[in-house]
Amino acid sequence: MKSSLCLILLFIINGIVFPAAQTKDKPSPSGDSRKTGYPVFLNGDSLFSVYSSLGPFSAEVRAAEVNKKLGIFIENLSDQPDSVYLEDKGTYISIYLNNALLMTVTDEDAAYGDTSHLALAIRYAGILKDKLKKHREIYSSETILKNSLYTGAALIAALLLILLISRSSKYVSGLIEKSEKTFIKSFRVKSREIITPGAISTFILLMVKTIQFLLIFIVIYNLSVWIFEIWPQTRKLNPKPVLKGILYTLITTVFSALLYKGIKALGEFFNKKTPSLRDFISDSVSIKSFHILDVESTTEIIRIVTGVLLIFFKLLLLYFYLTLIFGFFEFSRNWAKTLLSFVIDPLQKVISGFVNYLPNLFYIVILLVFTHYLIKLVRFIFREFQRGNITVPGFYPEWAEPTFKITRFLIIVFAAIVIFPYLPGSDSPFFQGISVFIGILFSLGSTSAISNIVAGVVLTYMRPFKIGDRVKIADTMGDIIEKTLLVTRVRTIKNVDITIPNGMVLGSHIINYSSSAKEKGLILHTTVTIGYDVPWKKVHELLISAAKETGNILQTPEPFVLQTSLDDFYVSYELNAYTENPAVMARIYSELHSLIQDKFNAAGVEIMSPHYGAMRDGNQTTIPEDYLPPKYEAPAFRIFGINPAGKSDSDNADK
């Protein structure tokens, strides 16, 4: 104490007698005078700050060393605050604590305080003594006993208050349950009951429980804050943010649980109502005449989409629940920001990208609209060509539809090429890599397809056939039912649909039976062989007669017969007849052959085709018995005019 008083008197005398010298000798702080210092703490309170370095020790190291020594000192409550004293060393002053050097105050330290090193050391010593005295009083046995009594009394009062709140809540809940049937009425709109008394009672009970929970939490909150403030060991912990976070967490959990139950109930409701959706979906989903989904598939898709949406909303609820919970506490607030950034950052990028993309989008929309109306104009022009309203020499009406498709394809390709640079991400390496990859796949895997397309275009403008023509392509004979750029479909007379690639069609010979049938008529021909014993004029007459009686055979031009060969045993007669209906040529041939048989049998002319070899009585005719006379008998076999049976020719003639 004596040394401290001497130093104080010395400081006063020095300031009065030598004020100018002090001002002159006071060093200026090195660097910025507003330099941030490193604080010295005692029991959590900031005492002062260290700004300058001392020798090899920086200001941060000096402050840390002082804090370490003070921490060791305050652990022993037997130490006295008066143990702080100063020693003047000339150019600096040392501050001692319990006979141990605590710190040194130099002129450099004083320069930051705009004072002398003696005045600064005295101020530091006074602050230390005052704080040590308060620390001793706070941690004394009397204070601890008093705080313990106060804490116990507060706990008992809080428990009684919580018990009172619980009893009051039970009493009010009992009154509500008793008055449910007498005082609580249902909520009605006109004559329809919207909310039942039970639902209203349940809601009121829920509100009572909520108020009870809030009151109990308020009691616990105030009690915790008061206890943390009364005890010096916990005074700096500040429980208010943590307790508020717990309250907000509980409220958020309750509301999240209610929302989760609501989503779950909504899902169960939709699952129960899904079977009844079939009654509301009366027809399948169609685009023009194409059926995309039937009723069962549509119902199943609705059920799957509903399930996916429910899972999405549950995950979304969990995401925002965790984000809110993390945001209620200081230590996890950065986690909440990170979680929010997972949604907000992509949304911001999407929105900003969409706004920046609007000029390109307008350009694309304008180009699409122009392309749409250009295609409509081209369709109108080629439709007029097809109808014959517009004629160009050398351009046939059946070329209109395929030419329109080719022109439309070229317009769409040109529009796609123009639009491509304005698509989002078109200049990215990923987009370019995908484009190259798709191009390679297309070039390697579409060789035959491209050849068929080229063949389809060539066939279109060669005009070898049209839809409905009866044709023969290689070994396939039937009617053309469809022709596209890739394939041609033929339906045979047995109703078998055969698909032929256009490349094969172009490489095969094509016989068209219908191309000239309407204008010149299709010549159907068949060949019979008759023996030399029958006059050829009679054969011609019989064949032409059979042809004229056949259905779908034209009378003009008339049928005609050609003798195509003179063979060893018979003559070949070819019957030719005109028809306008090649689609029924099989039926015509069948009817014609049956009539030829009838005509020749009626005339007694034997058809030698196909010829055959057999051991038989050559005198017996092969004419069917229906065409023979009633008393017909085969002639006898003769050798050199002699009848081996002994009968004369006159006898046979009589018979």
Q: For domain 462-505, which architecture applies?
A: Roll (2.30)
Contact 117, 110 (CB under 8 A): yes
Mean pLDDT calculated for residue range 110-138: 80
Residue 558 has what pLDDT?
93
User: Is the model's pLDDT at 277 over the cut of 80?
Assistant: no
Mean pLDDT calculated for residue range 586-610: 88
Contact 82, 67 (CB under 8 A): no
Beta-carbon contacts of 390 under 8 Å, excluding residues fewer than 6 positions away, are 381, 384
Rounded Cα–Cα distance for residues 325 and 493 (Å): 77
3-state helix, strand, coil in the chain (%, to 5): 60, 15, 25
User: Is the model's pLDDT at 399 over the cut of 60?
Assistant: yes
Amino acid letter, 159: L
Q: Is the pTM of this model over 0.85?
A: no
Residue reference for tokens 């008759």: 530
Tens of pLDDT, residue by residue over 225-245, are 888 777 766 666 677 777 778
Residue 481 has what pLDDT?
92
Residue 449 has what pLDDT?
78
Amino acid letter, 616: R
Closest CA relative to residue 89, chosen from 97, 99, 73, 101? 101
User: Is the model's pLDDT at 486 over the cut of 80?
Assistant: yes
Domain spans of the chain? 2-139, 143-238, 240-331, 462-505, 522-613
Beta-carbon contacts of 323 under 8 Å, excluding residues fewer than 6 positions away, are 336, 339, 340
Neighbours of 485 (CB within 10 A): 18
Tens of pLDDT, residue by residue over 306-318, are 888 888 888 888 8
Task: Report the first-to-last Cα separation within the chain, whole angstroms.
Answer: 182
Tens of pLDDT, residue by residue over 544-584, are 999 999 999 999 999 999 999 998 888 899 999 999 999 89
CA distances from 560 to 523, 565, 577 (A): 10, 16, 7
Rounded Cα–Cα distance for residues 56 and 213 (Å): 60
Tens of pLDDT, residue by residue over 28-38, are 444 444 467 88
CA distances from 451 to 154, 443, 458, 463, 483 (A): 95, 12, 11, 18, 15
Rounded Cα–Cα distance for residues 332 and 248 (Å): 14
- Mean pLDDT estimate for the chain: 79
Mean pLDDT calculated for residue range 455-461: 84
Closest CA relative to residue 633, chosen from 642, 645, 641? 645
Asked if the domains at 462-505 and 522-613 fall in one CATH topology, the answer is no
- How many degrees, rounded to 5, is the angle at CA 361 between CA 355 and CA 362? 105
Per-residue confidence band for 2, with pLDDT thresholds at 50, 70 and 90: very low
Looking at the DSSP bridge assignments, the partners of residue 639 are: 642
Q: For domain 522-613, which architecture applies?
A: 2-Layer Sandwich (3.30)
User: Is the model's pLDDT at 366 over the cut of 90?
Assistant: yes
Mean pLDDT calculated for residue range 354-363: 86
Of the listed ranges 92-96, 333-337, 424-428, the one predicted with least confidence: 424-428
Sign of CA dihedral 330, 334, 340, 345: positive
Mean pLDDT calculated for residue range 184-206: 68
Residue 183 has what pLDDT?
62
Mean pLDDT calculated for residue range 326-333: 82
Segment holding 69, helix H or strand E? helix 59-74
Per-residue confidence band for 344, with pLDDT thresholds at 50, 70 and 90: confident
User: Is the model's pLDDT at 639 over the cut of 80?
Assistant: no
Contact 529, 571 (CB under 8 A): yes
